[in-house]
Amino acid sequence: MNTFHRGRRLRSRSVLRDMVRESRLGREDLIQPYFVVESDPDFKKPISSMPGQFQLGLNQLLSEVGPAVDAGLKSLILFGIPVEKDPAGTQAYAENGIVQEAIRRIKSRWPELIVVADTCLCEYTSHGHCGLVSPEGVVQNDPTLALLARTAVAQAQAGADIIAPSDMMDGRVAAIREALDEKGFLDTPIMSYAVKYSSAFYGPFRDAAESAPKFGDRKTYQMDPANWREGLREAAADVEEGADILMVKPGLPYLDIIRLVRDNFDLPVAAYQVSGEYSQIKAAAMNGWIDETAVALESLIAFKRAGADLILSYFTQDLLKAGHV
C-alpha cells in the first residue's frame, strides 16, 4: 500500500506531460514590438543594447513583418522614431506621422494582422517626457490628455486595431475613449498600460526608441516598484474609464502583480516582457551561460502561469520562425 504521493506517474512520458500541462503558450498570445524610423524607408540599424532587434525604415519594416506573418505572427505593436521632435510631440498625432504611415502600409498588405499602436508622446517630444512640460520643468497631466486623445484618433484613422496608451497620465483612458467614440471608433479597444512601474529594466528600450528624458526621470507619473496596492488602484481606475485590456509592465519582476490583476479584474490581462528582460537573456546566451530558446520559452510560460492572456515580447518573431510556438 503506497503511503506517499507519486507525482512522477504523470511525468513519465512526454505525451502524458503534454496532456496534463496547466499553462499553454500559443502564437495568438504573443505580440512582437517593432521600432519604425521615419528618416529613410530602407534604413536598418541594429540596436546594440538589444541584440537581434533593429530600428527599421518603412520598407525594412515590411521586410521583417512578412516572414514573421508567414511563420504565424498574429499581432504586433509599433513604436515610432520621427525625424523632428518638438516640446509638444506633434509628430505623434500628425496624419502622416511615422506610426500612422506604418499602420497604413501594414494593414493594406496584411489586413487580418492585429496592429497595436503605442500611444504616448515620449518618442516625439524634444524633452523626452510622456507629456507636456511646464516652464518650471513639471510634466503636466491634464493638458497632455488632449494630445494623447488626438494621437489615438490619428492612429485609429490610420487603421490601428488596438490603442495602447503607455504614458501613465491620470484620466487618459477616459479621454481617449471619449475621443475615439466621438470619431466613430466605438469598436476600437484600448489596451491600457494600466500598471506601469518606473523601472530600471527599460534602459535598452530608450536606446531603441530614442526616448530617454533629457532631464529628471519619470517617477512622478510611473509607479513606485515597491507598491502593489497602488497597482490595483490604477487598474481599477482604467477599468472604470473604459479600458478593454489591462497591461502590467515590466513582466518577470512583477509576476505577483500580474496575478493580482488577474484575480481582481475580469478583463484580459497583458504583460510586457520589457527590453531589459530580453537583453539579459540575450547577453547570458551570447556568453554561453544559458540556452536562449529554453529560457525564453520558460520565461513566457511564467507569464501565462501568472495569469497573463497576452504577452508583448521581443522573442516572438524568432520563436515563431523557429517553430517553437
DSSP classification of residue 6 = -
Q: Look up residue 295 and give its three cell numbers.
A: 529560457
Given the residues 74, 85, 249, 304, select the one marked as catalytic: 249
Given the residues 74, 85, 196, 304, select the one marked as catalytic: 196
Task: Count how many Cα atoms sit within 13 Å of the Cα of residue 134 in the half-sphere of its side chain.
Answer: 7
Residue 122 annotated as binding site: yes
Q: Look up residue 7 and give its three cell numbers.
A: 507525482
To 10 degrees, the CA torsion angle through 193, 199, 202, 206?
Answer: 90
Residue 275 annotated as binding site: yes
Strand partners, 35: 55, 79
Q: Look up residue 208 and give its three cell numbers.
A: 531603441
**What region does 288 belong to: left with phi over 0, alpha with psi -120 to 50, or beta?**
left
CA angle 146, 164, 171 (to 5 degrees): 40
Residue 206 annotated as binding site: yes
Is 45 an annotated catalytic residue?
Answer: no
Spatial CB neighbours of 239, under 8 Å, sequence gap ≥ 6: 246, 265, 267
Question: Crossing angle, helix 275-286 and helix 292-306, to 10 degrees?
Answer: 150
Cβ neighbours, 10 Å, residue 35: 22
Residue 314 annotated as binding site: yes
Cα torsion 195, 201, 202, 205: sign: negative
Q: Which residue has the cell 527599421?
A: 56
Q: Look up residue 315 and give its three cell numbers.
A: 522573442
Residue 130 annotated as binding site: yes
Residue 37, Cβ density class (10 Å: 0-12 exposed, 13-18 middle, ≥19 buried): buried
Is 74 an annotated catalytic residue?
Answer: no
Binding-site residue positions: 120, 122, 130, 206, 218, 234, 275, 314
Known binding positions for 5-aminolevulinate: 206, 218, 275, 314
Point out the residues that are catalytic. Answer: 196, 249
Q: Which segments are annotated as binding site for Mg(2+)?
A: 234
